[in-house]
Amino acid sequence: MKMFKKVMNGLAFVEKLILAVSTLLILVLTVGNVFSRKVIHQSWSFTEELVVAVFVLITLLAAALACREGGLVNLSLVTDRLPARMKRGFLLVNTVLSVCFTSVLFYYGLEKVLAQLENGKRTYVLNWPEWIFWSFVPIGAACMILHFIEFYLDTCAREKEDSQS
């Protein structure tokens, strides 16, 4: 369990680093494009492709980090009033359903990446392979799956420690 937690902490660190760099990239590209349009009267057409793709990456990685903290899709109005044993059952059901949904997202995202690898489709402006940008979907989904499981295990471990105290 300790090794799993070390790996997950490392993954979370990498995700936070990617989020910081990606946010900075979007900021620089967007401000640069606005400056270029207003001052030089030239638009950077490539910024739209990059910003949209990186925004997808940011959204999925941020959702994955929210899963790690239990802050994603959780309505605790009913479960807060339940005994601890029933809360654990609801948490298990919630985790299983969330992992199932995210697995579907991973599967179809990976299917799209493989299809684009086969047909060699490229982006309109940058002429980069589209599979690069679509790979953000299965990467983000995989991170979400791991963090859903991590949150469940952490919550169960915390409850076990609380009951032993």
CA distance linking residue 113 with residue 138, whole number of Å: 9
Q: Give the whole-angstrom CA distance, residue 46 versus residue 108.
A: 27
pLDDT tens digits, one per residue of 102-117: 999 999 999 999 999 9
pTM confidence score:
0.88
The ranges assigned to domains in the chain are: 2-164
Give the pLDDT mean for 28-35.
94
pLDDT at 106: 98
Contact in structure between 106 and 141 (CB atoms under 8 Å): yes
**Residue 9 identity (one-letter amino acid):** N
> 52 pLDDT exceeds 70?
yes
Where is pLDDT greater, at 13 or 1? 13
